[in-house]
Amino acid sequence: MIARDHIESIKKKYLNSDTDFVLPSLNRSIDRIEKAFPRYGSFLMEFIQNADDVGSGSLLIKIDNRFIRTFNDGRPFSRDDVNSICRVGMSSKTPKDYIGYLGVGFKSVFLISDSPEIYSGDYRFKFVKNEWPEPQKVPWQVIPIWIEQPITLPSNYKTLFRLPVKDEGCIKKLQEETTPEHIGNRMLLFLRNLKNIEIKDKILNRTRLIKKSLYNRINDYEIYLIEEYFNKEVKTQEYWLVFRSICAVPPKVKEDRTTKEWERDQVDKREVVVAFRLDEKGKLIIEEKGTAHIGVFSFLPLKEVPSGLNFLIQADW
C-alpha cells in the first residue's frame, strides 16, 4: 500500500466509526491527555526523545513568528510509525528498547498547534482542527489528512515536524522552553544517538548549539566533551567521565504491581549511567548540583531532578 492510500485508509476507518458516542468520547479523551502535560514545551522533549529513538545524530529546531520546525536525520517514518501516531496509547515502540513507548507523547503538540504537519520518507500528512465543522465531535488529533504539496528538506535531514503555532503567546513560552534551564547540555550524555541539538530562533536572531564529542574510550569508561555555543561563540566546554553498566531487573521489581500496570514487567535488563565532571587535566571536579536523569515515560521524557549527589546518574527509575 502506497503512503497516500495508507493515510486515506486510516481516515476512513475513523470516519466509519460511531459518530454519536465513540468519536466524541475519543476527542474528549485526547483533550484530557493534552492537558496532562506539565508545560507548553513538553513536545520539544518528545521530539528530542523521538529523534534519539530513530537513530538521529542531529536535531534542528527552528522558531519564527508562525512555525516551530524540528528536523532530524534518523530513520524515516514507517507504516507502523504512522499507525502509532494516529492512535492513542498504542505505540510501535517497546519498553525494552525505547525511552518513549506509551503512545501519547506526540499529543503534547496540540497544546501549541491546531494543525501539525509531518514530512518523513514517503509520508506527508497533517492533523487539522479547522478541517471539521464540529471538531469537538471528531478526534481530529488522530485523523490524518494527506498533504498534496511535498517539501524539500535541508540536506541530510529525513523527517520534518512543522507546527503552525496557535498564537504569539505560545511562541514566547516556547522561546523560554529552549533555554538551558529546560534543555540542558548534560542531556546529551544520556542519549544513545544524538550528538548535536541546534536551536535557531529567527525572531531573536539567536542560535544555540549543543555538541557531544567522544574524547577518549577505555574498556570500562568513556570521556566526552560537551560544548555549548551561542551565535557560534563558545559558551561552555565540559569534560565528563562516563561509566555504563547493564543491570538485570530483580524479580521482585518485575512482580511489583505498579511495574506491571505500567507494562514494565517485560523489561529484563536496564542500563545505569554515572557521569563525573573533569577539568582539562583530567582531574575530578566535585559537582555541586548533581542530578538524576529520568528517561522512562514518553510524557516525562528526559526529566532532570536534583539528586543531592556530587555526580550525575541516569537510570530507569
User: What integer pLDDT is reported at residue 100 of this predicted model?
Assistant: 41
> What is the model's pLDDT at position 114?
94
Q: What is the pLDDT of residue 301?
A: 42
Average pLDDT of the segment spanning 203-208: 95
Q: Which amino acid, 152?
A: T
Q: How confident is the model at residue 41 (pLDDT cuts 50, 70, 90)?
A: low
* Dihedral pair phi/psi, residue 225, rounded to 5°: -105, 120
Mean pLDDT, rounded, of the chain: 85
Fold of 3-315: Heat Shock Protein 90 (3.30.565)
Q: Where are the domains of the chain?
A: 3-315
Of these ranges, 46-55, 61-70, 172-181, the one predicted with the greatest mean pLDDT is 61-70
pLDDT tens for residues 91-110? 444 545 544 443 467 888 88
Q: 37 by DSSP, 3-state: which?
A: coil
pLDDT at 40 over 70: no
pLDDT for 269 equals 83
| Confidence grade of residue 39 (pLDDT, cut at 50, 70, 90) | low
pLDDT at 56: 97
pLDDT score of 315 more than 70 = yes
Q: How far apart are CA 271 and CA 53, in angstroms?
A: 15
In terms of Cα–Cα distance, which of 132, 89, 91 is closest to 114? 132
Position 101 scores a pLDDT of 40
Q: Quote the pTM value.
A: 0.85
